Structure 1
Amino acid sequence: MEPQDTTLTTTRLRLDRLVPADAPGLFAYRGDDAVARYQGWRPVDEAEAARFIDEQSRLAFHTPDSWAQLAIRDRSTGELLGDLGVHFPADKQSPIEFGISLRPDRRGKGYAREAMSTVLDLAFNEWGYRRTVGSVDPRNVASIALLESLGYRREAHHVEAYFFRGEWVDDVIYAMLDREWRSTATR
C-alpha cells in the first residue's frame, strides 16, 4: 500500500499536512535556538516558513526522493505541537528516514514517541519498507533516547562527518529493520 495524504490519529495526536495558518507557529519553534541546533532547516522569518508550507502543499506526500512534512497536532484542539518529516527514498530497497521537531514547551510528554510509533507502523506494515535509518548528532541526547526507546540500534559513528553551521560535527547512524520493529513487544 502506498502512502496517502490522509490524516493519521493516535490517542492524543493528529498528524496531517501543514497549512498556511501554521506559519507563525512553525516559525516560532523552528526558529528557536534550542530546536534549531540540530536541524538542517531553520526559517529566517515567518515568510520563509510560509513558503516552506506552500512548497510542501504542492508536493505529493509519497514523492520518491523527497521529504514530506506532517504537522503534529493536539488531537482535541488542533494546536500545532511540532512536525515530523518523512524522507521517502527513490526506491523501496533504500531505507526510509524520519526527522522530528517539537515545540520546547511540548517536549518530555511522549508526543515524539507517539508520533514516530504511528509512522513506523505504517512504514513497515502498510508502506512496505524493510529498513529505517536515523542520522543524529551525538550531542542530541534527546533524539538518541527517542530512537533507542523505539528499538533503533546504533550502527555507526562517523567522526567529523560533515561541516554544519561553522563546525565539523560527528554523525551517529541508527537503524531498524521491519522484523525488529515487529518483534518489539513494547513500544
Structure 2
Amino acid sequence: MLKPSYPIRTNRLILRPYTPDDLDALHAIHRLPQVTRYLYWEPRDREQTREALKRKITETALLEEGQALTLAVELAATGELLGDVLLIWHSRAHRSGEIGYVFHPDHHGRGYATEATRAVLELGFDGLDLHRVIGRLDARNEASARVLEKLGMRREAHFLDNEIVKGEWTSEIVYAILRREWHARP
C-alpha cells in the first residue's frame, strides 16, 4: 500500500495530485497530435480531457494491486503544468509495477520527464517495496526510450507488430529495472 505525502518535490519540479483547476492546462497537452502519436488514444477534445481528468483526480494512492497513481508535474519556479507521471501496481505477489509519463512538447529535452519519473520510481521501490518496474513504449518513440535509459533501465524486449494501435500494426519495447539495480546505481 502506498499513500504518498504531497506535494513531492524534486530539484525543479512539484509532483502532486490533479485538481479540477488543471483542466485548461491538461487540455493544452491532451489536444496535441504530437503528444498522442505513440499513445493508445487520439487527441482529446475538452470534454474527453475533462473525463480523463476526473479519473486522474482519483488516482492519488495505491491501495490494491491493479491501481494507478497519476501525479501532475509542475515546474516549481512557475507553477506551470508540464505533464504527468504514472505508477501502476501490477502485482502484490510478484511486487511488480510499471511507470509512464506524458509531457507537453514545449518542455521536452530538458530532463523533466527523467526527473519526475525518478521520483516515481523511488515511490515504487522505497514506498511500495516493488521488486521490478517496467516501462513500455512504442518502438518508434526514441525520446521516451532515452528517458528510461537515463533512469538506468535496461531494454529487455522488442515485440514486433504485437498490437494494432490506431489502425496500424505497432511494435513495443519493454524496459525494466530491479530494486537492487535501482539502489546500486551511482
TM-score by length of 2: 0.92
The match for 1:73 is 74
Tell whether the 8 Å contact from 2:95 to 2:129 is kept in structure 1 after alignment. Answer: no
Alpha-carbon distance in structure 2 between the residues aligned to 1:58 and 1:37: 26
Over the aligned positions, Cα root-mean-square deviation in angstroms equals 1.7
Give the residue type in structure 2 aligned to 1:16: R
| Structure 1 CA distance for aligned equivalents of residues 152 and 39 of structure 2 | 22
Task: Give the aligned partner of residue 8 of structure 2.
Answer: 8
Aligned twin of 2:45 = 45
Deviation at 1:125, TM superposition (A): 1.9
Shift of 1:23: 1.2
Supply the distance in 1 between the matched residues of 2:70 and 2:86 (Cα, whole angstroms).
4
Cα shift at 1:58: 3.4
After superposing the two structures, state which structure 1 stretch, 155-164 or 120-129, moved more.
120-129
User: Which residue in 1 is equivalent to 2:113?
Assistant: 112
- Residue 34 (str. 1) matches residue 23 (str. 2): no
Note the 1:1-187 alignment, pairs <5 A: 2-4=2-4, 6-42=6-42, 44-63=44-63, 64-91=65-92, 93-185=94-186
Percent of aligned pairs with the same residue?
34
**Structure 2: 5+ residue stretches without partners:** none
Q: Using the alignment, how far apart are the partners of 2:89 and 2:31 within structure 1?
A: 25
After superposition, the Cα gap between the structure-2 partners of 1:53 and 1:92, relative to the gap in structure 1 and judged at 3 Å, is farther
Q: 1:22 to 1:43 in 2, by over 3 A?
A: farther
CA change 1:71–1:92 in 2 (3 A) is farther
* TM-score, length basis structure 1: 0.91
Tell me, what secondary structure is at the counterpart of 1:40?
coil
* 1:89 to 1:161, Cα distance in 2 relative to 1, 3 A: same
Structure 1 residue 43: Cα displacement: 5.2
Q: Secondary structure at the match of 1:71?
A: strand
Deviation for aligned residue 1:148: 0.8
Following superposition, the deviation at residue 5 of structure 1 comes to 5.6
Number of positions where the alignment pairs a residue of Structure 1 with one of Structure 2: 185
8 Å CA contact 1:23, 1:49 repeated in 2: yes
Separation (CA, whole Å) in 1 of partners of 2:26 and 2:15: 15
Give the Cα separation in 1 of the matches to 2:59 and 2:105. Answer: 28
